[in-house]
């Protein structure tokens, strides 16, 4: 009988979360205290991993200006997630910790050393969210004259990941002997030069760090376009699915599994987690009221349009709010664009107006999950039964992380899932990759 449990992760970023809410990050923006509270609550609820998103520029897409982003603290400011991951690693013992690192931002040698180090520091619980960077402004910040085309970025990333793995492999198993009798720390015959010469990258090796506890850290990826899906299916241990509806969730998962099999992988080794943003309260009426109040808050439409402009490099201020969008494509996050526009099969745009699409994007999730913990748990269980697996990645609704929301999920929703046998009640493995393959 198939295990009914599914995996759970949390998607967040190290920045100003609900900065004007006393229960957000306003009084403690850069200490990491809010994220420490989140990590401890997640570990208590037996989540698989926390994923910390990152971008490398202040957006200036909406209305061609940074003003809206700075005024509302949209995607800015953000701190470097690497030190935060190290801090979270000392405060937890079981929770996986995944940070976003760009293949455009780091030399492969430096990234290999960094992720191996963090895997050691977290005792085998580290994951790398692999991104190729999709913002033109970030490319300029990194010294490039333009953002490479999406296809080329993924081609380069394939070689990049290969080099990172081969650098980690320059130390053979058993290279570290720690033999006091012969005063030998490492067997030099088992540590090798690499002399890698690829089309885009090169490195002589060997890596300066010892092999990490997991062999290599867990890989997380969010491929939305056809090329992105192929990259994710080829490399990732867990894939983030930004889709709409049960049919969309199932289609995406089936496609990833098909591509994984084509790449010679066991599809069961890849856990596809669909993005959701539940709104949970003591009663259904209270949950619905919270949802409606957030949608009606001053400036909500502008903030939402600015946010999706930053994801897609498309200025949505140019379109009529009460008319459908024309067909749109981007060199940025095509998957995010398709989800926001609710693109139909064959690539045709949704007949909904832009205003309706903004309202639909309110919880940013694959499903409308508004209700009591028991309501939402039942909906999640029904969805997973129809999709076939593998779990959910929780994103904060309306991008406002507060301690109240953390408690509503970790101490409200997850116990309801556990009572139904749908979520893990205890950790039984020691590394993140083992946790992802537990069921």
Q: pLDDT (tens digit, 9 = 90+) per residue, 177-231? A: 999 999 999 999 999 999 999 999 999 999 999 999 999 999 999 988 899 999 9
Answer for the pair 24, 402: CB distance below 8 angstroms, yes or no.
Answer: yes
Q: Does 42 or 22 have the greater pLDDT score? A: 42
- Side-chain-side CA neighbours of 135 within 13 Å: the count stands at 21
- pLDDT classification of 351: cutoffs 50, 70, 90: confident
Average pLDDT, integer, range 346-353: 76
Asked whether the CA dihedral 220, 224, 228, 231 is positive or negative, the reply is: positive
**Around Cβ 91, how many Cβ atoms within 10 Å?**
14
Percentage above 90 pLDDT, the chain:
76
**Does position 364 have pLDDT exceeding 60, yes or no?**
no
> For residues 247 and 228, what is the distance between their CA atoms, to the nearest angstrom?
20
Is residue 71 in some structural domain?
Answer: yes
> Given a cut of 70, is residue 398 above it in pLDDT?
yes
Mean pLDDT of the chain: 92
Cβ distance 228 to 157 under 8 Å? no
Residues 6+ apart with CB under 8 A from 31: none
Helix or strand holding residue 336 (H, E): helix 334-341
Measured at the CA of 260, the angle between CA 255 and CA 266, to 5 degrees, comes to 125
341 lies in some domain? no
pLDDT digit string, tens, across residues 1-27: 578 999 999 999 887 766 676 666 555
pLDDT band at 356 (very low <50, low <70, confident <90, very high): confident
The answer to the question of residue 28 being in a domain is yes
Q: Is residue 175 part of a domain?
A: no
Nearest to 12 by CA among 323, 286, 364, 355: 364
| 190 CB-contact burial (10 Å; exposed 0-12 / middle 13-18 / buried 19+) | middle
Whose tokens are 């692999």? That residue is 130
Q: How far apart (Å, rounded) are the C-alpha atoms in residues 222 and 53?
A: 11
Report d(CA 273, CA 395) in Å as an integer. Answer: 11
**What's the pLDDT at 343?**
74
> How many structural domains comprise the chain?
1
- Copy the structure tokens of residue 103: 């293949």
Instruction: Tell me the per-residue pLDDT of 138-168, one tens digit each, with 9 for 90 and over.
Output: 999 999 999 999 999 999 999 999 999 999 9
The pLDDT assigned to 334 comes to 81
pLDDT above 90: residue 257: yes
**Smallest Cα–Cα separation from 340: which of 243, 435, 421?**
243
Examine the pLDDT at 233 and tell me if it is beyond 70: yes
Q: Is residue 87 included in any domain, yes or no?
A: yes
Q: Which domain holds residue 404?
A: 7-149+207-283+364-436
43-57 burial code (b ≥16 CB/10 A, e <16): bebbbbbbbbbbbbb
Sign for the CA dihedral angle at 77, 18, 224, 231 comes to: positive
199 is a domain residue: no
Specify the 3-state DSSP secondary structure of 161. Answer: helix
Instruction: Record the pTM.
Output: 0.93
Evaluate if residue 434 carries a pLDDT over 70: yes
CA distances from 101 to 81, 89, 156, 391 (A): 9, 17, 15, 23
Do the domain assignments include residue 299? no
Residue for token pair 């061609």: 64
Helix (H, G, I), strand (E, B) or coil at 280: strand
Instruction: Choose the weakest-confidence range: 44-58, 226-240, 293-307, 383-397.
Output: 293-307
Q: What six digits make up the tokens of 102?
A: 């760009």
Q: Provide mean pLDDT across the span 61-67.
A: 95
Q: What CATH number is associated with residue 218?
A: 3.20.20.30
Residue 29 lies in a domain: yes
Q: Are 436 and 238 in contact (CB under 8 A)?
A: yes
Q: Calculate the alpha carbon distances from 194 to 83, 109, 117, 191, 415 in Å.
A: 29, 11, 19, 10, 49
């Amino acid at each position: 009988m198939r295990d009914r449990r599914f995996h759970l992760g949390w998607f967040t970023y190290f920045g100003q979360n609900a900065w004007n809410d006393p229960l957000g990050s306003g009084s403690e923006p850069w200490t990491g205290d809010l994220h420490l509270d989140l990590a401890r609550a997640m570990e208590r609820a037996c989540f698989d991993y926390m994923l910390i998103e990152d971008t490398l520029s202040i957006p200036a897409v909406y209305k061609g200006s940074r003003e809206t982003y700075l005024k509302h603290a949209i995607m800015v400011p953000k701190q470097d997630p690497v030190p935060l991951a190290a801090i979270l690693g000392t405060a937890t013992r079981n929770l996986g910790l995944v940070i976003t690192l760009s293949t455009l931002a780091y030399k492969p040698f430096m990234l290999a050393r960094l992720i191996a180090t963090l895997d050691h520091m977290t005792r085998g619980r580290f994951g790398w969210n692999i991104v190729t960077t999709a913002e033109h402004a970030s490319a300029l910040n990194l010294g490039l004259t333009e953002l490479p085309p999406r296809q080329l970025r993924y081609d380069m990333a394939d070689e990049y990941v290969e080099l990172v793995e081969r650098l980690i492999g320059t130390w053979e198993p058993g290279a570290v002997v720690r033999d006091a009798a012969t005063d030998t720390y490492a067997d030099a015959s088992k540590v090798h030069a690499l002399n890698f010469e690829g089309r885009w990258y090169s490195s002589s090796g060997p890596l300066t760090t010892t092999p990490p506890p997991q062999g290599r850290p867990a890989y997380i990826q969010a491929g939305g376009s056809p090329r992105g899906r192929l990259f994710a299916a080829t490399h990732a241990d867990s894939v983030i699915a930004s889709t709409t509806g049960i049919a969309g969730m199932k289609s995406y998962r089936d496609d990833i599994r098909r591509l994984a099999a084509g790449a010679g992988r066991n599809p069961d080794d890849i856990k596809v987690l669909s993005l959701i943003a539940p709104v949970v309260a003591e009663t259904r009426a209270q949950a619905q009221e919270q949802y409606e109040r957030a949608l009606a808050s001053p400036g909500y439409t502008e903030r939402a349009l600015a946010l999706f402009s930053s994801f897609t490099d498309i200025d949505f201020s140019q379109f009529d709010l009460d008319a459908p969008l024309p067909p749109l494509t981007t060199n940025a996050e095509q998957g995010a664009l398709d989800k926001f526009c609710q693109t139909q099969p064959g690539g045709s745009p949704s007949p909904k107006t832009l205003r309706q699409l903004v309202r639909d994007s309110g919880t940013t999730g694959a499903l409308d999950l508004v209700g009591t913990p028991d309501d939402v748990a039942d909906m999640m269980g029904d969805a997973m039964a129809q999709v076939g697996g593998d779990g959910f990645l929780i994103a904060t609704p309306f991008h406002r992380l507060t301690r109240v929301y953390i408690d509503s999920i970790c101490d409200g929703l997850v116990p309801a899932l556990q009572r139904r046998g749908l979520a893990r009640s205890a950790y039984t493995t020691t590394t993140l990759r083992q946790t992802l393959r537990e069921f």
